[in-house]
Amino acid sequence: MAKNKLNSRIFKDRIFVSILLLIGCICALPLVLILFFIVKQGINSISLQFLTHLPKPVGEKGGGVLNAIVGSLMLISMAAVISIPIGILGGIYLSEKKGTKIANLARSSAEILQGIPSIVIGIIAYLWIVKPMGHFSALSGGIALGFMMLPVILRTTEETLNLIPNSIKEASLALGVPYYKTILRIILPCGISGIMSGIIISLARVAGETAPLLFTAFGNPYLNTNINRPVQSLPLIIFNYATSPYDDWKQQAWGASFVLLSFILIISVVAKFVTRRWRVQF
């Protein structure tokens, strides 16, 4: 009798785990479906021509997404140039001046900034840069993406530096190394893996952002390398092609998705490698 009850309880436990695992697998289904189709359809449309040519008008075969690839790279590098130095400096401040009023306020601000919907960031970049300048531009798109990267880099830098024991800093200061050199030459190199992976992860995230680019970088059917002019980007071209009624363009959208997704996956793998290779160990 008692044994039976125990068995039924154990049975219930088993059933519960199986249900959990089943639900977990169902959850992965859409992801697998999307990835599978992107690879399958993307391989078909990807060729050297796709990567090195400009889009052709509707109806003409061929054409590529070179302008979008160049535009995306421009936007991402601008975002990185803006956000990396500020993010790292701010992160150092937060971890060094823990508990001060400014640090607490800045930390909460960064947390809130991280949660702001990306479309709102797009509007802000429009109001601050596009409107005064009078035209859409790559610069405004890069700044919008930079605003999105900034809090992520700042928080990861702070979290990484918090892991580094004080004794290292104290040893360096005791040897007479000036404070700023201690930070730049001793503390930052110790935390480089965490900071790097934060940067790479935030890069991967903004690479796929579309909403902030709708009214800043705007899109451009031609190749453009001038930061004062609108540029195309991969997520924008996917959005435009995917919502278009033409089958040719939809096929192109699969190809563009494949390029974008491979880019994101590759840099995520790099981030993982970086954290594993240079983990903070004390």
Partner 1 sequence: MKIESAKQKQASDWRLGIAEKIFNSLMSNAAILMIILLSGIFITLLYSSIPSIKQSGLGFIYGRVWDPVTNQFGGLSFLVGTIITTFLALIISFPFSISLGLILGEYFKKGIVSEIFKNIIELMAGVPSVIYGFGALYFLVPAIRHIETHLGVPAYGVGILTASIVLAIMIVPYWASVAREVINLAPNDLKEASYALGATRFELIRYIILPFTRSGILAGMMLALGRALGETMAVTMVIGNNNVLPKGIFDPSNTMASVIANEFTEATSDLYLSALIEIALLLFVVSLIFNLLGRQIIKRMASR
16-55 positions binding partner 1, by CB under 8 A: 16-17, 19-21, 23-24, 26-28, 30-31, 33-35, 37-38
Of the ranges 47-55, 73-81, 201-209, 223-231, which one interacts with partner 1 (CB under 8 A)? Answer: 201-209
Among positions 131-170, residues that touch partner 1 (CB under 8 A) are 147, 150-151, 154
Among 251, 262, 268, 275, binds partner 1 (CB under 8 A): 268
Looking at the Cβ atoms of 127 and 225, the one nearer to partner 1 is 127
Q: Compute the least distance from the CB of residue 57 to partner 1, in Å.
A: 22
Helix ranges (DSSP H) in the chain: 2-45, 48-52, 66-96, 101-115, 118-125, 131-133, 138-163, 166-174, 179-181, 188-190, 192-207, 234-242, 247-277
| CA atoms in the 13 A half-sphere facing the CB of 21 | 6
Among positions 163-192, residues that touch partner 1 (CB under 8 A) are 178-180, 183-184
Please give, one letter per residue, the 3-state secondary structure of 237-268.
HHHHHHCCCCHHHHHHHHHHHHHHHHHHHHHH
Draw the binding track, 70-109, toward partner 1 (x: CB under 8 A; -: no contact): ---------------xxx-xx-xxx-xx----xx-xx--x
Please give the C-alpha separations between residue 229 and each of 20, 44, 47, in angstroms, as whole numbers.
51, 32, 28
Among 81, 171, 265, 266, binds partner 1 (CB under 8 A): 265
Among positions 213-252, residues that touch partner 1 (CB under 8 A) are 214-215, 218, 235, 238-239, 242-243
User: Of 129, 134, 18, 15, which Cα lies nearest the Cα of 78?
Assistant: 129
User: Site for partner 1 (CB under 8 A): how many residues?
Assistant: 82
If you compute the radius of gyration of the chain from its CA atoms, what whole number of angstroms results? 24
Residue 280 touches partner 1, criterion: CB under 8 A: no
